[in-house]
Structure 1
Amino acid sequence: MDNPDRTLILPSMKFDSDILIVGGGLNGCALAIAFASGGLSVTLIDNQPLERLQSDVFDGRSYALALASKRLLGAVGLWDGLAENAQPMLEIKVTDGRAGEGPAPFWMHFDHAEIEEGPMGFLVEDRHLRRAFLDAIASSERITHLTPETVVAQTTDASRAAVQLASGQTLRARLLVGCDGRRSGVAERAGIGRSSKDYQQTAVVAAIGHEKPHGGVAHQFFMPAGPLAILPLTGNRSSIVWAETPARAAELSSLDDDAFIEALRPAFGDFLGKLHVAGARFTYPLNLTIADRLTDTRLALVGDAAHGVHPIAGQGLNQGLRDVGALAQVVVDAKRRGEDIGSETVMARYAQWRRFDTTTLALATNTFNAMFSNDNPILRAGRDLGMSLVNALPGLRRGFIREAAGLTGDLPRLLQGQRL
């Protein structure tokens, strides 16, 4: 018997595509490809010029992809083309201390050999990941990529979603998805508010070349002002994400490359030998921002438009790809059942699936940052004791490894490596 809550698609309604996606970043591209793999037509709207997006120049940006995210990329046919430029993350070492004094005696060590599935994750440069997405989009008959183009207005009602572009064109679809970042225009125009917290930290991001091989080991060094993540790239290179006070970050960004390395050295240490800057440097303020709701009438939010968290656990893009997997599955399954893919019922399934996970991650990253980004002797003693306890208990340690690999919770099919 048919579901009594099912909203039937009106065959007489004219649409430019099944789905409109605003925002052509990594989440928006991944979502467009996922929808297309499930037989849906997509219009992807991006305000960046295509020439800029296609640049092959290494600018220092890279992403830590959890094992589950790698499986999603494999399920939509992208991983084989990325594998040669992906650095497996074989170990994670977490330490506490002060720059120039070395790490505290208590630390955590996670080794991929403790789980059966393989490496916990992979480091992939932005240029390689973006190029793979753009090539897949260009070759898909189901995806229309509009760039550079900007949405200036939107409307949604019981029968359709529509956007007006700066060029004057109006597009209509069954569903509108905002993948347009922490200052989402889609969310703002829908009247969706946000809860935010400023961490009073700024991240300094750069690629560092080093004399010795990293062995596929990622490091997270917690210091009073904020953590320093050292993430292995292909070759003798690592990506760093260094959280500092805004004033100190501004000072670091103004230094020339040699002076920057001298400033970095006390925190980085000498375990990888001589260092040099291997790409551009970026800074961005760190904050927590959570949309008050993930959906509205014929509308869903994905990635940073829905939730922006501290990079302390490197889970920002991975959580966005969980959104991608969940929304793609909910919508494609609804289409196969003959439901209206933008109906309130279908949107409620997505919101219910993702709300708990996103809220939990926000709370966890907020708590970790509060516990570790300080020099309080009581908190220092407590966190060092906690790290030594985790390190001493294999079962608990494996749980953390599986969490870092993205293998826990109710995973969408794509993140299990299955096609839609």
Structure 2
Amino acid sequence: MSDSNTGLVTADDTRRDLIILGGGLVGMTLALAAARAGITSHVIDRADPADLVAEGADGRASAVSTASWNLFANIGLGKRLAPLGCAIDTIAVTDGMKPGRIDFQPKPEDGSLGRMFFNRDLRLALFEAAEDEPNIAWHVRTEAVRRTRGAHGVEIELSDGRVLKGSLLVAAEGRQSPTRDEAGFSMAKWDYKHRAMVTAFTHSKPHEGTAWEIFYPEGPFALLPLLDDAQGRHRSALVWTVAEKDAAGAIAMSDTMFINEVAARMHGVLGEIALAAPRLSYPLRFHHAARVVDERLAVIGDAAHGMHPIAGQGLNLGLRDVGALVEVLSEGMRLGLEPGDAQLLARYEKWRSLDSVMVMAATDTLTRLFGIPGRLPSAVRRFGMAAVQRSGLLKRFFMDEARGMSGKLPELLQA
């Protein structure tokens, strides 16, 4: 993987339409989606891409909604990614494996509820496409040490001394975005005092494309279907939420003890299990930027909003940002406006604000609702779940939300 600056369409070799800070899943998807629309970009990332896609470096997996899959297909990654994703055909939601669960299963003509991908496979596809895309100049193993935004454009000085110019600065640096913080965006944020334990495991029974969301008072416990490995062993991803006060003990467990604890919470639904990936953990916090634009600046993905992984919508929300931003910019540029035009940024912010707030509020409410201990709250929850199970209309609504097909969708996220 190299730092490439080929294919510029302007006379000035340092200037492009966008300067994207952060070349992760959301930042690089933005660069590719913009490139397909004829929008040029600099992508700056301090990491070494080879480290990010090394075997065993990251065993995490992500749920890609139907709408997000449409985005990947529409920017030319469908053929590359299709064999690597495991379809989520059913989502089973249960309160501690007690009676009264919900089974979300779409009609055959609606397709799956999403697909599970290893993050490594997504990165490999994105990075390979970026290397072959002349509209993307990719700068790795470096970072911005100065950011200047003004009436005539943006200018970034890199740690290696280079200076890059553009019309719009996009912060896609993740939850700890220095660009967002430097711009002084006000944030709503709180700590759930929980930690996510993440890994993948093999199991003796086939998952049959079912994702399990098992709610316990101490936190949700998600089993997410993956493709069988090269030896034909069945695999699933795990996201196990534990209270922060118990996290040190969970992290210190031996692999054998960890697997035994996981198996006890699974009630045998996947049979015998064994670890298939490194165990990772990270704290769970909520944050939401009151604004996502400023003068010649747009903030996307986790830099703008971070939520509990309870519904697997974090990456998908960032990809909706990508689709909306590219649509707004490409339409504006066809009218002769530059990407950093304040009118375009205002339109983008208006489009994304309501959608992101609704998704994040729903996720936060679910987290709190299922975290209330006691028999009575459990009985009330299971009564409500049984009602949803019987209601075709409600089930359809929730399935559309899970598939990312609700609300005003950008064209890139449509089939």
Would the TM-score normalized by the shorter structure come out above 0.5? yes
TM-aligned CA deviation for residue 407 of structure 1: 0.7
8 A contact 1:216–1:232 mirrored in 2: yes
* 161-170 or 351-360, larger mean C-alpha shift: 161-170
Task: Quote the residue 1:152 is aligned against.
Answer: 145
1:89 is matched with 88
* Structure 1 residue 161 displacement after superposition: 1.1
Write the distance in 1 (CA, Å) between the matches of 2:263 and 2:223: 12
Alignment correspondent of 1:109: 103
1:56 & 1:138 partners in 2: Cα distance?
20
Instruction: Call closer, same or farther: CA 1:336–1:56 in 2, change over 3 Å.
Output: farther
What SS does the aligned partner of 2:283 have?
A: strand
Determine the C-alpha separation between the residues in 2 that align with 1:350 and 1:250.
42
1:169-197 residue CA offsets vs partner (Å, 9 max, x unmatched): 22110000000011111111111121111
SS class of match (2:28): helix
CA offset at residue 205 of structure 1? 0.3
- Is the aligned partner of 1:292 residue 2:286? no
Q: Which residue of 1 aligns with 2:17?
A: 18
1:393 correspondence with 2:391: yes
5 Å-filtered alignment, 1:21-420, equals 21-57=20-56, 59-97=58-96, 103-113=97-107, 116-235=109-228, 236-417=234-415
**Farther off after superposition, 175-184 or 11-20:** 11-20
In the alignment, structure 1 segments of 5+ residues that lack a partner are 1-10, 98-102
Q: In structure 1, what is the equivalent of residue 6 of structure 2?
A: none
Measure how far apart 1:250 and its partner are: 2.2
Native 8 Å contact 1:95 1:106 kept in 2: yes
* CA distance, structure 2, for counterparts of residue 96 and residue 58 of structure 1: 34
TM-score (norm 1): 0.93
CA distance in 2, matches of 1:341, 1:145: 19
Residue 357 of structure 2: SS of its match in structure 1? Answer: helix
1:50 CA drift (Å) = 2.2
Q: Give the secondary structure class of the aligned counterpart of 1:290.
A: strand
Secondary structure of residue in 1 paired with 2:387: helix
In structure 2, C-alpha distance between the alignment counterparts of 1:285 and 1:108, rounded to whole Å: 28
- The range that moved more, 58-67 or 362-371, is 58-67
Cα displacement string for residues 48-96 of structure 1 (whole angstroms, at most 9, x for unaligned residues): 0122123243732111000111000000000111111110000000000
SS at match of 1:106: coil
> Is this contact kept in 2: 1:68–1:405, CA < 8 A?
yes
Distance 2:36 2:315 in 1: 20
> Structure 1 stretch 167-176 or stretch 311-320: which is displaced more?
167-176
- AA at the equivalent of 2:86: Q
Q: Secondary structure at the match of 1:247?
A: helix
Cα distance between partner residues in 1 of 2:388 and 2:116: 25
Cα contact 2:201–2:275 (8 A) shared by 1? yes
Distance in 2 (CA, whole Å) between partners of 1:88 and 1:131 is 20
Equivalents in 2 of 1:374, 1:29: separation in Å? 39
Contact 1:154 1:189 survives alignment (8 Å): no
Cα distance between partner residues in 2 of 1:224 and 1:396: 25
Deviation at 1:296, TM superposition (A): 0.3
In the aligned structure 2, how far is the partner of 1:406 from the partner of 1:182?
22
Query: Does the CA-based 8 Å contact 1:54-1:134 persist in structure 2?
Result: no
Q: Is the 8 A contact 1:57 1:127 kept in 2?
A: no
Q: Give 1:218 shift.
A: 0.3
Question: What are the Cα deviations for residues 177-229 of structure 1, in whole angstroms up to 9, with x where unaligned?
Answer: 00001111111111112111100100000101101110000000000100001
Deviation, structure 1 residue 376: 3.4
Aligned length, in residue pairs: 401
Question: What's the Cα RMSD here?
Answer: 1.5
Q: Check whether the contact 1:223–1:374 (CA below 8 A) recurs between aligned residues.
A: no
CA distance in 2, matches of 1:193, 1:154: 19
Structure 1 residue 14 displacement after superposition: 8.8
Q: Shift in Å at residue 374 of structure 1?
A: 2.5
Deviation at 1:252, TM superposition (A): 1.7
Matched residues in 2 for 1:144 and 1:288: separation? Answer: 33
Counterpart amino acid of residue 78 in structure 1:
L
Rounded to whole Å, the distance in 2 between the matches of 1:12 and 1:266 is 63
State the 1:402 CA deviation: 1.2
Q: Aligned partners of 2:227 and 2:267: how far apart in 1?
A: 20
Query: Which SS does the other structure have where 2:237 is aligned?
Result: strand
SS at match of 1:18: strand
**Structure 2: distance between partners of 1:351 and 1:365:** 21
Structure 1 CA distance, aligned partners of 2:79 and 2:55?
Answer: 19
